Amino acid sequence: MSPSAKKTPQTNSPSSSAMIATPHWLASQAGAKVLKRGGNAIEALVAAGAALSVTYPHFCGLGGDAVWLVADEKGNARTFLGIGQAAAAMPRGEIPLRGPASTLTTACLVDSWEKALAYSAAEWAGTEQLPTLLDDAIALADGGFQVSQSQAFWYEFRRDELNDWPGFAGLFRSGGLQHQPALARTLEAIARHGTREFYEGALARRIASGLAEVGSPLSAADLAATQTDIVAPLRQVYRDTILLAPPPPTQGITTLGIMGVLGHLPMADFQPDSPAYYHALVEAVKQAFLDRHAIADPRYAADVAKHLLDPDRLVAKAAAIDPAWALPWPQDYRHGDTALLAAVDANGRCASLLQSLYFDWGSGVVIGDTGLLWQNRGAAFSTDPASPNHIQPGKRPFYTLNPGLALKNGRPHLVYGTQGADGQPQTLSLLLSLLIDHGLDPAAALARPRFLLGRTFSDSRDSLKIEENIGAELVSALAAMGHEISTIDAFSPLGGQAGVIRIGNDGSIDGAHDPRSDGGAILL
C-alpha cells in the first residue's frame, strides 16, 4: 500500500451491504479488504485495528488495551474486555501520569484479538487467520506512511516533554514519512507464533526485559496472567431502541445513565440548535457523572451497575434537573485518548471497538527493542484506600472506553463510539439524541457542534467548552442559564473523534467517521 495513496472520502450512502469506519483511512482500507473478500465484522476490525496501531501511535497501539462490543444479525451480543491488570508487585506512593512508573498495567489488546477471533470462528463461522489479518499493519510499519494531522497535532502539543520520554526521541515524527521497523518485527512475531507470543513466548521475554530496564513494576508473570474477559453487555432502553454498553470497570454505565436521564426529558421537542437542547444534555451528563466515583473493577469492589441504572433512580435524576439553571460543576476529570473502529458485514453482524493508550502517547515509554509504546492506564487508579478504584495487585482500573451498539426491533441498528476519555459519554449522548430523537443521518450528526464539560489539556477550569460554530447567540443564552462557557475551535481535536454506522430496517447501511479525524467510512 503506497503511503502516497489518495485519502478515501467519508461516505454516506444507504445502498451498500457492508461498511467500516475508522479514524485513519489506511486502517479503514485494511478492514475493507477483509469485508470485500467475505470476512466478518470482527475479522475486519482485527485487521483495521492492527493497522491503526501503526498509523495512530499517539492514541492506540499494541502496548495498550481494547474493549469490544459485538452483535450478530439477531442481536445476540457480547463484550470483550481486553483490559490489562495492575502489576503483582505494586510500588508505593503517588502514581505519576507519565514515565516508567506509570507503566503499572499490562497491555491486553493483542490478547483481545485471540478471544475475538475465537468467538468469530465459533459463533460466526469466521475463517480468517491472524497472519493474513496482520499483513497490512506489518507492511505499513515496514514501508512507512505519511504522518496524520492528528499525530502531528499531538506531537507538537507534547514537544516540550517528549525528549524526556525513554526510547521516544527519533522514533515518532510530527510530519513526513514514518517507519516503525521494530514494531514490524513485533507484529511478525505475533503473526508467526500467535497472540500468546506477546505474553508467554520469546517476544514476551523481550518485553519483560525492556520493562525491567526502564524500571516498570511489570514482570513476565504479569504478562502471562493477562487475559480478556468475555461478558454480557449492559442494556438501557431509550425510545424505541435498546442501547448496549460494556459493564464496569468501564464508563459504559455512565453513557447509559445519561441516556436513561434523557429518556425522561422531551428531547425530541427541543430544537437541536436551541439552548434548551444543549442545557438538557449537559445537565444529564452532570447527573450521571456524579456517580462515576463508584465505578471500579467488580472483582474487587461492589458491582454498581444495577443500582446506577435503576429506573426510579434515573427518574429522580431527571426530576433534579432545573430546566432554567445549570448545576454548579467543580468535578474531577480524566483525560485520555482512544480510537474507535466500527464495522458491519454483509450478514448484518456488527463490531464496535475502542483501542487506547490512555493519554495521548500513553506513558511516553518505548519498551526495549520492540517498538512498543506502553500505556499509562495505571494513572487512572486512586491511591486513596477508601476509593473503590484504589490500586491493588491484579486489579483493573476505572476505564473510559465504552464502545456502543443500539438494537431496534431486536436487531442491530447503530454501531458507534468515540475517542475522548471524559468526553466519550458526552459526545455519545449528543450523537444518540441527534440520531434517535431528531432523525439526523450519521454524517450530519457528526458534523454538529460538540460540547465538553470539565477541564481539558489547555483549560484547567471546570467550564463548559463549546465549539465556536454553535453560534454566539446560543453561547450567550447558555451563559445566561448559569453555564460557565469557554469556546474552542470548530471541529477541535478536543471534541473527540467519533464514528457511527446505521443499519436501516431494510438492511441498508449508511455511516461516517468524524470530520475531526483523518479517517472515513468505506462502503462495500
The pLDDT tens digits of the residues spanning 383-427 come to 999 999 999 999 999 988 889 999 999 999 999 998 877 788 999
pTM, rounded to two decimals: 0.93
pLDDT in tens, 289-347: 999 999 999 999 999 999 999 999 999 999 999 999 999 986 554 555 578 899 999 99
**How many whole angstroms separate alpha carbon 335 and alpha carbon 497?**
14
**How many whole angstroms separate alpha carbon 154 and alpha carbon 385?**
34
Whether 338 is a known active-site residue: answer yes
The residue ranking higher by pLDDT, 512 or 338, is 512
What's the CATH architecture for 238-336+421-523? Answer: Orthogonal Bundle (1.10)
The pLDDT of residue 459: 52
Q: How far is CA 363 from CA 1, 64, 104, 377, 386, in A?
A: 30, 10, 10, 8, 26
Q: Which of 338, 400, 418, 427 is catalytic?
A: 338
Confidence class for position 370, pLDDT limits 50, 70, 90:
very high
Q: How far is CA 419 from CA 355, 401, 402, 403, 429, in A?
A: 9, 8, 9, 10, 14
**How many whole angstroms separate alpha carbon 383 and alpha carbon 390?**
5
pLDDT in tens, 30-71: 999 999 999 999 999 999 999 999 999 999 999 999 999 999
**How many whole angstroms separate alpha carbon 503 and alpha carbon 180?**
37
> Domain residues of the chain, as ranges?
22-230+337-380, 238-336+421-523
